[in-house]
A = this chain, B = another copy of it.
């Protein structure tokens, strides 16, 4: 008989009366005790409904509960949903380029227990971070992007092989500076979180700090979002900012930005791993 365990349920569907009651009744009938709940509706009349629950399941019969939920609640309400044990560890791949601050920060956070995941592999298009990464006991795959015609396609093919072999649940672009193709994003089979070094939608694309300097903004920022085929336009998970003023050079803004990027990406990854982020119509609900 399985052990008692803590379970998470996330749900989204078209809103209509009776959803909460149906969920609560099924959980009560299964002996679950809800310890945390958060709920959002864009509009009770014809809007979209989001729910995240954590509950103790004394008998630990997660598979039975999943089956009962699927037929008894999810299907009638036409839900997108996920039900998982809280102690599940997802498998992450980190992709990096020359800048290593986000990469190292995630490795540190993992080692400290801030991220409930296993970092299965690091892939980089530069060879420089091998020693740093392997010191954490994580394999390092150097996948260079050869100049010229097929370079990028070949690199993406190679990365897809590595990711498949590592059975990845999540890809994190830790300042990976190559634009990934729509084909790659479709075939990767896992969510992809990117950190962009501006306060989106301002300064999407290249060189955001230089452009922030040119525009004379007084605050810079960073944005963690799910990658989609439109560059820097995917659903935003988290953003944060820092003040600058006229005396900051682009180099200094870049240094200040590194601290924001590390923190914003760390939060976004942790929340994703805790099933706190639900995506609908290009936006996120973060519970």
Report how many residues on chain A are interfacial, defined by Cβ distance under 8 Å: 60
Q: Are A219 and B246 in contact (CB under 8 A)?
A: no
Residue from B104, B200, B215, B246 in contact with A285 in the complex, judged by beta carbons closer than 8 Å: B246
Q: Which of A5-19 contact B (CB under 8 A)?
A: 17-18
Picked from B21, B44, B199, B235, the residue with its CB within 8 Å of the CB of A216 is B235
Stretch at the interface among A34-42, A73-81, A139-147, A172-180: A34-42
Contacts of A245 in B (CB 8 A): 286
**Chain B residue nearest in CB terms to A23:** B24
A181 within 8 A of B: no
From A89-97, A184-192, A236-244, give the one contacting chain B. A236-244
Q: In the complex the two chains form, is B247's CB within 8 Å of A219's CB? A: no
On whether A219 and B235 interact (CB within 8 A), knowing A21-B28, A25-B25, A246-B40, the answer reads no
Task: Report the copy number of this chain in the oligomer.
Answer: 4
- Judge whether A61 is part of the interface by a CB distance below 8 angstroms: no
- Decide if B18 touches A246 in the complex (CB within 8 Å): no
The verdict on A263 contacting chain B, using a C-beta distance below 8 Å, is yes
Q: A17-B33, A44-B35, A135-B135 are in contact. Are A28 and B28 (CB under 8 A)?
A: no
> Across the interface, do B112 and A108 meet the contact criterion of CB distance under 8 Å?
no
Least Cβ–Cβ distance between A280 and chain B, in angstroms: 9
Nearest B residue (CB) for A6: B44
A131 an interface residue at 8 Å Cβ cutoff? yes
Are the CB atoms of A39 and B44 closer together than 8 Å?
A: no
Q: Is the CB of A114 within 8 A of B255?
A: yes
Chain B residues within 8 Å of A41, by CB: 35-36
Query: Are A259's CB and B255's CB within 8 A?
Result: no
| Chain B residues positioned under 8 Å from A27 (CB to CB) | 21
A-B contact pairs, 22 of them (CB 8 A): A20-B24, A20-B37, A21-B24, A25-B28, A36-B41, A37-B37, A40-B247, A101-B108, A101-B112, A131-B135, A199-B202, A199-B219, A200-B217, A201-B203, A215-B236, A216-B235, A216-B283, A218-B238, A218-B239, A246-B283, A246-B284, A246-B286
Q: A132-B135, A215-B236 are in contact. List 17 more A-B contacts (CB 8 A).
A: A21-B27, A24-B25, A36-B247, A37-B39, A40-B247, A101-B108, A112-B258, A199-B202, A199-B219, A200-B217, A215-B283, A216-B284, A217-B236, A217-B239, A219-B221, A219-B241, A246-B283
